[in-house]
Structures are given as C-alpha cells and as structure tokens.
Chains A and B, each alone.
Chain A
C-alpha cells in the first residue's frame, strides 16, 4: 500500500531524506520514529504529494506520488502535525466541507460525517466553532477529517502531540482500531507510543532509515545474542551447569529468588530444550520468556551507531 524506493529529498544543501526504502502493507500500523529533524514530516509531505521528491520513487496504493498526485490524494487521509484551523467554522460544517472536497455529496456525505464524528468522539462538539475547541478536540476533528472518504491509507503526523495522557490513550485506542482495516503510517518521537502502536517501527535519523523491524525484533537485534529469562520454584545448585550444557546456550546468570538470565547464540531458540530439561529435573518451571531490550535503549543505541557511521552531505 505504501512503497518507498530510494526516496531522497534535498532542500538546497540540506539532505532531509536520504535514500529511504521501505514498504507498509494493508492492515499494518507502521511507526516512523526519530528525533526532531530526522525527516519524518518530510516523508509525510512526500507521501501526501505536498513536497516533490528529489530522487527515488514513492507509491501509495500503487499510484506514483509524482505522476498521479490526484489519485494518491483520493486514497489518503492525512492528519498534519498542526490540527486544522478554520476557527470560524463549526465542527459539523467543517467536516461537511471536507466531505465535499473528497467528492462525497448529499446523503452519503451526511452519513459519513455522522460516522466519523461518532467514531472520533466529536459528537458533543459538532455545533461548536473550531476556534473554541481544546487541543484534544481539535486533534479529534483532525482525525475525523482524515477518515472521511474511507481512505485506504492513513498518514498521521504526531497524532498525540500536545494531548494529555487520557486523551493520548483514547487516540491510541482509536488508531489501533483503524489499523485493522487499512494501512496506517504514523510518526512520533515518543518511544512508548511507538512500542504500543507499531507492528513495525521504522527508526529514522538524519533522513536515513536506521532500523525497520517489530519492536521486539529490534530490541533483540540490538542486543546481538538472544537472551531468555527463566523463573523456577525449586532451583537446585546445578541449574547453571546443567543449562550451560545445552547446545546454543552461551552463559547462564543466577539472579535472586530463582530467576535466571540465559544468553543464547544469535537467532538460536533453545526454549523447548530448556523447558523440557526444567520439567525433567523437577525445578518447578514458572516462566520462560525472551528478554527484550527496552525500546528506549534500542533507539538510543541505533541513533548512536548512525551518528558514528561516516556519511557525505549535510542532513536534517
């Protein structure tokens, strides 16, 4: 649904996006994560046809953003970083206007406006002027206008920016629901949000994609070797030696209260053998799960690595 191949955007000498290549499929929620100036908003502007790319190719729903911008616009719903601002319009009249812009007329327009208003929780403010709404409601109205016309692809630029925690949680729940039936690409610099929403996290830094994986796989990839955590009810003194004897297990560290950390080789899964052994030895296996590095640590490490990699040209 979204395909970027070597997308590059240069503003004069400033390289905002540098050879970005990635895809996002239907039913997938991808998060563009990166610090300020990483190129997230520029990527959104390219996908919404607002900014022409310098090199590469970008497609939305199989339409090229450069050669078929109108077709692309028909298939996207866009929530910009700054929520819509026609302060003199009421929420209902604004959504009717957007419905018209999206080619919806008559009863169909009215029906869709009703649907998105209810879905985004704007029902109680539909007759209020946008200029008098709180930031949270403006964001909801922004999401509602993005949903009009039932677009196949949703592009949400920092959708929870400026929202208080309950509002942000509501917005995330709404996005999660929306991602089930369409492609959602959202940007954020909040790590917990990326981990909570993203089936895939695309980490950008200085215009480059430095990682593209699920939050869990990202953490493991950065950790290098695999790591497991195991809890036992009746550990014995030979647990460490017995586990170390399993092929693929590199190291076993005993923690307090029957908790063990098991380091395994990269991409080696020994969980079945470990579980079988624990049952056989009668250690009282309570839990065995992969240990993931927190996303924050992953993110910082990837950014550090990207900074250490020499590159030509300025970036932003």
Chain B
C-alpha cells in the first residue's frame, strides 16, 4: 500500500508542475464558469419576468438547483469527457516513452501498485478541479437558497463519472507510448460508453436494456437531481475497477512483448 501512495504522491507532484494540468484546469474552470454565469443570468431574468401577476406559481417553482446547478452539472460532465483523457494520457505513456517506466518496474513494486498509484493521482487532480467549482454553489448561497446537500450529490455524480473516465484513460495510457494516441483512445472509449443510450433508442429487447444500462449518462441524471441511488454508485465504481483491472493486465503484459 505504501508503494501506491508513493507513486500517487510523485505523480501528483508531476501534475502540479506540469503546464498541461494547469492549462486543462484553466479551460475547465473558464468554460464551467461561463456556463454558470449564463444559467445565473437566465435564472435572474426569469425571476424578474415572473414577478408579474399570474406568474407567482412559476416563480415559486423557480429553484437555483433546478435552473442553475442541474444544467451546469450536465455541461460539466460533458467537459469532463473531453478534459479527462488529456489529464490521463501521460500517466503511463509518457514514462514508457522516456524509458523511466522500465526502471519503475524494476523496483520491488507490483504493477497493480504502480497503476493504482498513478490513477489515484489523476483522480486527485480531477477532485481538485471539481473542488474549485464549489465556488458556484457557494455563490448561490449569497444570492439565494440553494439545496447544498443536493448539490453535493451532484458533485458526487461528477466525481464518480470522472473516476470512470480516468480509469478508461489510465487503461488507454497503458496501451501505447504515444500520449496523443492514448488521449484519442480514451476519448473514443469514454464517448462510446457515454452515448450508449443513443443506439438504444433504435433497438428493442435485451439489446436495448443492455445499452441503456451501459450508458454512463443515463446513470448520471439522478445524481444531478440530488437523488443518491446505490445502483448508480455501484455502476460507476464497477466501471472504474473494471478498466483499472484491464490497465493492470496490460501493464503486466508488457513483460511478454
């Protein structure tokens, strides 16, 4: 276990000294900030419009969680689909290209410890990135009365989907020593699972059921509504563990090349 933390700590330090990590975080924060202020402006306009007589019911139903945070979380989850592969592409591919991965594998550490350590560092970066966006719901406390526990459940959903994306990215990074290729494979893999509900609309029977269950997006909406469903938590946990398991297998398989 000590090996896992050592690798994670070293990797996190490398992230914090890497311009790519800062660039990705900056883009994520800028876009999510833009979306937040867009929804906030929309919310403000509606709340002004619904001040008029006859629209009191609408005004009563206007809630910052539903009109600001839910669409924001939805857009942030799509942003994660793009930024996570960029964050994870370097995890193993960079070290394999530089030759330092061989040296790392020659230390008395298991491949599992190496992969999990690197994965945890990527996850910590994602949590850090999402943590910075807590400024938005907290800003709403100043402006209105948001449901913060429901927002926390939304963030849990974002964290879980990010964890699954990161595991796919980790697996893709283990496949190759080319970072761009790793990012492309991770994006493709994550997109397939993200959009699995699209082909489900045109199918019937067991295939429809399977595709609907596989869709990462379908499992996310309850979180954004502030509803914590155990099966969704288990789905993302299983997905992350499955891709991590594959990443470990690929890394161990490097010996047989």
Which residues in A have some Cβ–Cβ distance to B below 8 Å? 11, 45, 48-52, 70, 73-74, 76, 78, 80-82, 84-86, 88-89, 97-98, 100-103, 105, 145
Contacts and interface: CB of A to CB of B under 8 A. Distances in A.
Contacts of A11: 257
Contacts of B109: 73, 101
Nearest to A83: B99
A165 B128 CA distance: 49
14 contacts: A48-B102, A49-B255, A50-B105, A51-B257, A70-B108, A73-B109, A74-B108, A76-B106, A80-B102, A85-B98, A88-B13, A97-B6, A101-B3, A145-B103
Contacts of A88: 13-14, 17-18
Contacts of B206: none
Nearest to B109: A101
Given A51-B255, A100-B6, A73 B103 contact: no
A70 B108 CA distance: 5
Contacts of A78: 103, 106
Given A49-B255, A88-B14, A101 B102 contact: no
A11 to B, nearest CB: 8
B2 interface: yes
B95 to A, nearest CB: 9
Nearest to B104: A101
Contacts of A48: 102, 105-106
Given A73-B106, A101-B107, A84 B100 contact: yes
Given A50-B254, A73-B109, 20 more contacts: A45-B102, A51-B257, A70-B108, A78-B106, A80-B102, A81-B99, A82-B98, A84-B103, A88-B13, A89-B13, A98-B107, A100-B3, A101-B3, A101-B108, A101-B109, A102-B107, A102-B108, A103-B2, A103-B108, A105-B2
A50 B102 CA distance: 7
Given A49-B255, A101-B3, A86 B14 contact: yes
Nearest to A103: B108
Instruction: Kindly list the 9 A-B residue pairs having the minimum CB-CB distance in the complex, ordered from nearest.
Output: A82-B99, A101-B107, A73-B108, A78-B106, A74-B108, A48-B106, A88-B17, A85-B98, A100-B6
Nearest to A73: B108
A269 B217 CA distance: 85
A189 B51 CA distance: 86
A86 B103 CA distance: 11
A52 B108 contact: no
A100 B2 CA distance: 8
A82 B256 CA distance: 21
Interface residues of B, number: 24
B10 interface: yes
A102 B109 CA distance: 8
B110 interface: yes
Among B10, B104, B107: residue with most chain A CB under 10 A: B107
Contacts of A81: 99
Contacts of B108: 70, 73-74, 101-103
A85 B99 contact: yes
Interface string B231-257: 000000000000000000000001111
Nearest to B111: A69
Contacts of B254: 50
Given A51-B255, A97-B10, A85 B106 contact: no
Contacts of B99: 80-82, 85
Contact of A50 (B6, B13, B106): B106
Nearest to A51: B255
B19 to A, nearest CB: 11
B16 to A, nearest CB: 9
B100 A50 contact: no
Contacts of A70: 108, 110
Contacts of B256: 52
A49 B10 contact: no
B255 A50 contact: yes
Interface string B75-107: 000000000000000000000001110111111
A80 B106 CA distance: 10
Contacts of B102: 45, 48, 50, 80
B97 to A, nearest CB: 10
Contacts of A73: 106-109
B100 A86 contact: yes
Given A88-B14, A97-B6, A102-B108, A52 B255 contact: yes
Contacts of A85: 98-100
Contacts of A100: 2-3, 6
Nearest to A79: B103
A86 B110 CA distance: 20
Nearest to A98: B107
Interface string B181-205: 0000000000000000000000000
B13 A49 contact: no
Nearest to A46: B255
A125 to B, nearest CB: 18
Contacts of B100: 84-86
A135 B109 CA distance: 27
